[in-house]
Amino acid sequence: MPHEFDHVHLKSPDPGATVDWYVKAFGFKVVSDNVRIYGDRFIRCETVDGVTVNVSGARTDEHLGDGNADAHWGLEHFGIKVDDIDEEIARLTNLGAEVKEGPIDVPGGPRIAFLKTPVDVRVELLQWPT
């Protein structure tokens, strides 16, 4: 049986504000927004190409550690393709993102940059050669 990618899940102390940022920043569409039996607000979104991104708060009695937008072990970042990386960096920093690294010209590959977005999520922007 093939294994297919299903979703990304972000945790946030304010899921609504976090989702609002991703809607403005990357055009995410909110598919559903409810409070689950676990006590957390759970917002299901889709990217413009149909990838599911879930954003939720802490479950009842759940204590979460801080986020980390620096390079680190484990799930480190997710990538977003852009047409003009410089224009996107300017737009996203105007929305509150912080450039952590780049832009970097990868030999034979894309131009990339890493940004810190709400709740310390690390996002990579990729501008592929045309």
Q: For the chain, give the mean pLDDT.
A: 95
Structural domain that includes position 31: 7-56
Q: How many domains are there within the chain? A: 2
Does some domain include residue 30?
A: yes
Check: pTM over 0.85? Answer yes or no.
yes
CB neighbourhood size of 76 (10 A): 13
- Identify the H or E element spanning 35: strand 29-35
Does some domain include residue 61?
A: no
What residues contact 2, with CB distance under 8 A and at least 6 apart?
A: none
Say which DSSP state 60 is in. Answer: T
Which CATH number belongs to the domain containing residue 101 in this structure? 3.10.180.10
Query: What phi and psi, each to the nearest 5 degrees, are found at residue 23?
Result: -65, -45
Does some domain include residue 64?
A: no
CB neighbourhood size of 8 (10 A): 15
CB neighbourhood size of 80 (10 A): 17
Convert the pLDDT of each residue in 33-74 to its tens digit. Answer: 999 999 999 999 999 999 999 999 999 999 999 999 999 998
